Amino acid sequence: MSELSYFQRYSQRENHITNNVLLMLRMLYRQHPSKLQTVIEGVLTQSDVEDLELEVGPVFKQQQVASDSIPDAIIHQQPFVVMVEVKPGDKWNRPQIKRHIKSAKSLGERNTVLLLLSKAHDPMFDTKLIELSKKSNVRLVHSTFETLINLIDSEAVVALHETNLRDVVDDFKDLLWEEDLLDDPYEMFAFGCSQTLEWNLENRIYYDHLSRPSKANVLTGFYSKKEIHAIGSVTCTVVGSPAKGWTVESKHKSKSDKDVIKDVKNRVKSTAGDFSEEPLRWYIYDELFKTSFKKSTPYGYYGHEAAAATTAATSATSTPTVAA
């Protein structure tokens, strides 16, 4: 029997991630408004909106000078809006963000933030998009799940003696790990390719269903017959199929989108597989390294598996190889 979880994990991925982020923030607020304020301020200071000061919860002041009098006390709550858009991957929909900016502007609040939360550390936003947000008096802010959990997990937000709240934070962190929203430099994800290994290595490519979380940001291995035969870091990803067309999901550092798509088409043609209908995620590698990570325990992996790179193998030798 599995342990009870504070956060649900059984609905459409993007929706339940958003729901759980809001649940975590609401729990912090209910414990004390200052906890939520510390997290929000921490997220905002990652960008260029340091001058934006948001006060979470009411402020109590005594003998405060007003415009025409000095009342004995004032209880004041500052209005602000933080509109949040969550993406499990690293691809943003520019028209969607423009619509969000327009919606945020229509709310008419002086302190309005559009927070884009994703795994990508460098989303490379269009400068025109940033200019549009400034003209609309909306602060466009990007942050990562890594930054969010580091802020929440700090002693400034959750003290050591707050054991009940610590249990909640730990479960939230586990959820982010399960959804592959946090980076782990010691993790290697093993792609199962027992039927296509030679083609994968020759073409430096792997394809997977879109329903599975992207593995573009972790070290990946090519696994077959209880052994990882090669490892490499994904250079870029493309989504699509010969019938449905192609879209670059994460960009190549030096190649244009047009060249990347042309390259993928050529690689797909080199196999007898039928990829005409279902759109897939295609992982592209510039370089793969032959290796030998042998599984020491009985039986093989069941589908995709993640393994700690420091403990996953009984022996390992690496030789760089670059396919022509």
* Segment 46-88, tens digit of pLDDT: 665 555 667 777 888 887 777 778 888 888 788 888 889 888 8
**Helix (H/G/I), strand (E/B), else coil: 115:** strand
Residue 310, pLDDT > 50, answer: no
Q: Which of 33-47, 141-155, 185-199, 201-215 has the highest mean pLDDT?
A: 141-155
pLDDT number for residue 317: 38
Task: Could you list the beta-strand ranges (E) of 87-225.
Answer: 112-118, 139-144, 187-192, 205-209, 219-223
Per the DSSP assignment, residues forming a β-bridge with 103 are none
pLDDT number for residue 287: 93
Tens-digit pLDDT profile for residues 130-180: 888 888 988 888 888 999 999 999 988 998 899 889 989 998 988 888 887
pLDDT number for residue 150: 92
Is the pTM here over 0.75, yes or no?
A: no
Is 107 within 8 Å of 81 (Cβ atoms)? yes
Read off the DSSP letter of residue 157.
T
**Helix (H/G/I), strand (E/B), else coil: 78:** coil
pLDDT number for residue 94: 84
Rounded CA Rg of the chain: 24
Is 261 within 8 Å of 276 (Cβ atoms)? no
Strand 139-144: give its sheet, edge to edge: 81-86, 112-118, 139-144
Tokens 């943003």 correspond to 92
Residue 318, pLDDT > 50, answer: no
More confident residue, 123 or 197: 197
More confident residue, 36 or 295: 36
Tens-digit pLDDT profile for residues 229-280: 999 999 999 998 888 889 898 888 889 999 999 988 888 876 656 666 788 8
| HSE (side-chain half, CA atoms, 13 Å) at 123 | 27
